[in-house]
Amino acid sequence: MKTENRLLALDVFRGITIAGMILVNDPGSWSAVYAPLCHASWNGLTPTDLVFPFFMFIMGISMYFSLRRYNSLFSRGAVTKIFRRAVLIFLIGLGINWFALWFGTFMSMGNGEFTFWERFTQNIFPVADIRILGVLQRLALAYLGGAILCLGIRPRYQLFTAVMILVGYFVILVVGEGFIRSEHNILSVVDRAVLGVRHLYGGGASSGAGMAFDPEGLLSTLPCFAHVLFGVCMGRMLGEVKENEIRIRQLFIFGTILLFAGYLWSYACPVNKRIWSPTYVLISCGAASLLFALLIYWIDVKGYKRGCRFFEVFGVNPLFIYVWSEIVAIVLAYTLQDKIYTVVLASWLEPYFASLVYALLYVMLNWGFAYILYKRHIYIKI
């Protein structure tokens, strides 16, 4: 596979995940969402549960090519780059959480009783309730941990290390009641002890939720390191093997083995996204490997590139477009979203379909912005 084609296949795969993340994160109404577009409430797996881990798997593939310039060894330049990027991604995620709290307070005070300055300064430092973790924060920690392991462990031992991480995490879950949804769950116990309940998902003063359980918690980030390492191993294979047919076969074999192993292990270890269970890692990485093999076959072997442009537009600026979509979604949630959904769409469409149409329109809105950047060759790397 030629370099540009390899990158195209990877960009298309990355773009599919970004489009999927925007689609499932932004329905017209959370009370009207088709089941496949919802996360599993606890054990189980839906198509939506595959989107985030797919991106993490891709991050591992890209990491191999990124660190190859440092010969995959520790160096001042490599470590500086890794820490700088991890901190940046983490802070951006924290900033989105802050903006959601601040903007919500700002809009809720717009009844004429407060001046603009009072609204602007109210809750500008929501240190008591801000959620510390989140999607981008998990990506940052997974990137940091995965990159350090990639540099510190010889390639021949990286796959074994990933498996051992999953086995060790499984032991933690079994001993610490990690498969049970309760306040005694070791994942929840660690998050509450380290971060505090008010800084967890569903734990803020205004959440109105029950038990706070952060799906992007601290301890449950551990298996994400294995997730990234699986991606790194596939990235190395893609970089070392030159024939498309062998690459596709290797991806297919790797994906099938992971899927089969995850299925067998699921009899003892439930598939669960919220705790990022070991079987969830195996199955999602296996599915990602198979999908990537299909994309390489479709794009690079058969040369079917029509329609690839749509996802490539998302894929060349993935994190920036995701951040943009999250910020705009927050603004719309307090301004136009309800009017668009209720008045424009749900007034003549069935509620669930109207909610889906809104999400699709929002995907297209973000695609339009991404297309402008794409046409102007503006690539913003986060």
Share of the chain above pLDDT 70, in %: 96
Phi, then psi, of 316 in degrees rounded to 5: -85, -20
Share of the chain above pLDDT 90, in %: 78
Write out pLDDT tens, residues 108-139. Answer: 887 778 887 888 888 788 788 899 999 999 99
| pLDDT at res. 54 | 98
| pLDDT at res. 342 | 95
Residue count (the chain): 382
| pLDDT at res. 319 | 96
Q: Please give the Cα distance from 17 to 30 (Å, whole number).
A: 21
Write out pLDDT tens, residues 38-97. Answer: 999 999 999 999 999 999 999 999 999 999 888 777 888 889 999 999 999 999 999 999
> Given phi > 0 = left and psi -120 to 50 = alpha, else beta, which region is 260?
alpha
Sign of CA pseudo-dihedral 306, 308, 309, 310: positive
Picking from 69-73, 242-246, 279-283, which range would have the lowest pLDDT averaged per residue? 69-73
Q: Please give the Cα distance from 322 to 255 (Å, whole number).
A: 27
Residue 262 pLDDT > 70: yes
Q: State the first-to-last Cα distance of the chain, in angstroms, to the nearest integer.
A: 27
| pLDDT at res. 5 | 43
Of 203 and 87, more confident: 87
Q: What is the mean pLDDT of the chain?
A: 92
Q: Please give the Cα distance from 90 to 299 (Å, whole number).
A: 34
Q: Are 282 and 299 in contact, with CB atoms under 8 Å apart?
A: no
Domain boundaries, the chain: 21-38+305-382, 51-303
* Beta partners for residue 102, in sequence order: none
Cβ neighbours for 187, distance < 8 A, ≥ 6 positions apart: 176, 178, 213, 217, 219, 220, 275
Picking from 4-13, 101-110, 212-221, 222-231, which range would have the lowest pLDDT averaged per residue? 4-13
Q: Are 78 and 121 in contact, with CB atoms under 8 Å apart?
A: no
Per-residue confidence band for 4, with pLDDT thresholds at 50, 70 and 90: very low
Q: Go through 129-144 and write b for each residue having 16 or more CB atoms within 10 A of its CB, e for each that does not.
A: ebbbbbbbbbbbbbbb
Residue 257 pLDDT > 60: yes
| pLDDT at res. 7 | 63
Q: Are 199 and 190 in contact, with CB atoms under 8 Å apart?
A: no
